[in-house]
Amino acid sequence: MVKAIRGIDSATPIATVAQGELQGTRNGAVLSFKGVPYAANPFTAANRFKAPQPMPAWSGVRNAVDYRPMPPQPSRAPSGGLAGAADDLTLNIWAPADARNAPVLVWLPGGAYYRVDAAEGWYDGSSFARQGIVVVTVNYRVGIDGFMAIDGMPANRGLLDSVAALEWTKTNIAAFGGDAGNVTLAGQSAGAQSVMLLMGMPMAQGLFHKAIAQSPPQNHLTPSQAQRIASATAETLKVAPTAQALAAVPLPDLIAGVEAMVKDLRDRAKWGPIGGQPPYLPVIDGKVLTAPPLAALQRNASPRIPLLIGSTDEEARLYLVPGGTIDRIPPPAVAGALRGARLPAHAADVYSQARANASPGDMLALFESDQTFRMPTLNYAEQRVRAGAPVWHYNFSWSSPGFGGRLGAGHVVDVPFAFNTLGSRQAAPFLGGPGHQPLADEMHGRWARFVKTGDAGWPRYDLTTRPTMRFDTTSTVVADPLADRRKLWAGIGFE
């Protein structure tokens, strides 16, 4: 039986979940509970590289006032190194103080499957909570512990963590006023791809009822590709590729190995089809992931799940602008990329005209934006439309003045607009100033409407007119935006 939150009118409310009591905080009309464990520490000797294990019960009242560490991962500091710590798998909750059977938003952060931090300020769920929505942000294992292929251990452990978080939410969210029968699963980048993968995973069926995917790629590995990366990782760490040997590697050394592999896979000549992408990706193992993403959606995903999906116009500028790489791209690199993707002969003309006075770096940024994010996003949208599911598609087109006015509508710039967290510390460098609050009001409002109703409030996507909400200083619905670039990729194979 669900117990009502004690002390709901105080600064320190106490909620009761299956494992025990949690002390959170109240800020106005919003309650928050941070660092809530949904699974036991996976870095102990007994749990290492296994599927997530149940969190034991605790006695007394557990502190849920402060965030817990992110899972171990490479630091974003210029010097690199270990960030996070070996700890329980945790999630964070924001809820309206008066919540009763409120809709629930479960958020999976991005990070290329080797970083994740559900405590970042631009994921703060307070604004959603003030609109009557319970928000859950989830940490999951990444890198070697989350996704590397290890003989005898389950594959895709990070995805299994997300399933465990959804199961925990189903069991416990009523304690915070949430409705376990009205859950929207959402994420950005790797988190968005995880949403699409979970939609097609048999073990995740029924755990969520609506989906939001912001800039989902289609990166995944075959078992042989995953094994090749695992062998190279073991060589880098100078250990045998076994669970026992890997578990004996100190975490700082293990994370240094992740950093080395991230750099190594940038060598496309060495790695072939998997070069240029992160090393530790979901693998089509036949058990957790039974088929490539689009095929799995076709086989397993319910057509009753509404989907809100989209991308930013200039995703790859995030990777090319901050370090100045965009200014060092020679014309042959662009020509080679277009040939490698087997695009039509006029592709160079299309990309050269897509941005005023486009440099080779600008052209490559647009190409990589399409290849990595925009075309996969459209593939997912089209597949769901063909399956009969209701789909709403958007483009985020607001040009950020960040990084000297050159970031544009880059990857991740849309996140603080979706959460209405323009003032967060994480958002500042990406916004290049205060952002544009009217756009945040518009986009955040649409997200909240979708979570509540399953309808984003503009025409559903179809494959004839392709109505798309274009989020910008002035937001409006347009038909088939960037159609010339979309048509370049028609017939190009994505699994």
Mean predicted confidence (pLDDT) in 154-160: 98
| pLDDT at 75 (0 to 100) | 96
Distance of alpha carbon 122 from the chain centroid: 13
Q: Give me the sheet containing 61-63, strands edge to edge.
A: 14-17, 20-23, 61-63
What is the secondary structure of 375-432 as a DSSP string? Answer: HHHHHHHHHHHHTT--EEEEEE---B-HHHHT-BS-TTTTHHHHHT-TTSTTTHHHHT
Task: Decide the pairing of beta strands 476-479 and 467-471.
Answer: antiparallel
Whether the predicted pLDDT of 356 surpasses 90: no
pLDDT digit string, tens, across residues 363-386: 999 999 999 999 999 999 999 999
- Identify whether residues 350 and 239 lie together within a single domain: no
Mean predicted confidence (pLDDT) in 78-90: 95
Mean predicted confidence (pLDDT) in 117-145: 98
| Percent of the chain's residues with pLDDT above 90 | 95
Name the band, by pLDDT with cuts 50, 70 and 90, for residue 248.
very high
- Identify whether residues 261 and 310 lie together within a single domain: no
| pLDDT at 495 (0 to 100) | 67
pLDDT digit string, tens, across residues 474-487: 999 999 999 999 99
Domain that holds residue 486: 306-495
- Identify whether residues 214 and 346 lie together within a single domain: no
- Identify whether residues 75 and 162 lie together within a single domain: yes
Name the band, by pLDDT with cuts 50, 70 and 90, for residue 1.
low
Query: Any idea what the Cα angle at residue 374 is, between residues 265 and 362, rounded to 5°?
Result: 75
| pLDDT at 147 (0 to 100) | 98
Count the domains in the chain.
2
Is 298 inside any structural domain? Answer: no
Is 263 inside any structural domain? Answer: yes
- Identify whether residues 360 and 232 lie together within a single domain: no
- Identify whether residues 324 and 447 lie together within a single domain: yes
Q: Catalytic annotation on 315?
A: yes
Among residues 255, 276, 297, which one ends one of the domains? 276
Is 293 inside any structural domain? Answer: no
pLDDT digit string, tens, across residues 15-41: 999 999 999 999 999 999 999 999 999
CA-based max dimension of the chain: 68
Give the closest residue to 142 by CA, choosing from 279, 236, 289. 279
Question: Which residues, other chains included, contact 450 with Cβ-Cβ below 8 Å and sequence gap of 6+?
Answer: 184, 210, 212, 306, 308, 392, 456, 457
Q: Catalytic annotation on 314?
A: no
Is 289 inside any structural domain? Answer: no
Is 281 inside any structural domain? Answer: no
The reported pTM is 0.97
Among residues 257, 276, 295, which one ends one of the domains? 276
- Identify whether residues 257 and 161 lie together within a single domain: yes
Is 326 inside any structural domain? Answer: yes
Determine the angle formed by the axes of helices 293-300 and 190-199, rounding to 10 degrees: 40
Mean predicted confidence (pLDDT) in 295-323: 97
Mean predicted confidence (pLDDT) in 177-188: 98
Name the band, by pLDDT with cuts 50, 70 and 90, for residue 7.
confident
Mean predicted confidence (pLDDT) in 459-466: 98
Please give the mean pLDDT across all residues of the chain. Answer: 96
Is 290 inside any structural domain? Answer: no
Is 83 inside any structural domain? Answer: yes
- Identify whether residues 201 and 323 lie together within a single domain: no
Q: Catalytic annotation on 411?
A: yes
| pLDDT at 60 (0 to 100) | 96
Name the band, by pLDDT with cuts 50, 70 and 90, for residue 175.
very high
- Identify whether residues 246 and 318 lie together within a single domain: no
Q: Which of 32, 162, 189, 400 is catalytic?
A: 189
pLDDT digit string, tens, across residues 189-223: 999 999 999 999 999 999 999 999 999 999 999 99
- Identify whether residues 29 and 141 lie together within a single domain: yes
- Identify whether residues 340 and 470 lie together within a single domain: yes
Mean predicted confidence (pLDDT) in 57-61: 97
Name the band, by pLDDT with cuts 50, 70 and 90, for residue 4.
confident
Whether the predicted pLDDT of 493 surpasses 60: yes
Q: Which of 314, 315, 399, 400 is catalytic?
A: 315
Give the closest residue to 412 by CA, choosing from 427, 432, 395. 427
Q: What is the CATH number of the domain that holds 167?
A: 3.40.50.1820
Mean predicted confidence (pLDDT) in 288-296: 96
Q: Which of 209, 393, 411, 444 is catalytic?
A: 411
- Identify whether residues 332 and 397 lie together within a single domain: yes
Please give the Cα distance from 260 to 79 (Å, whole number). 13
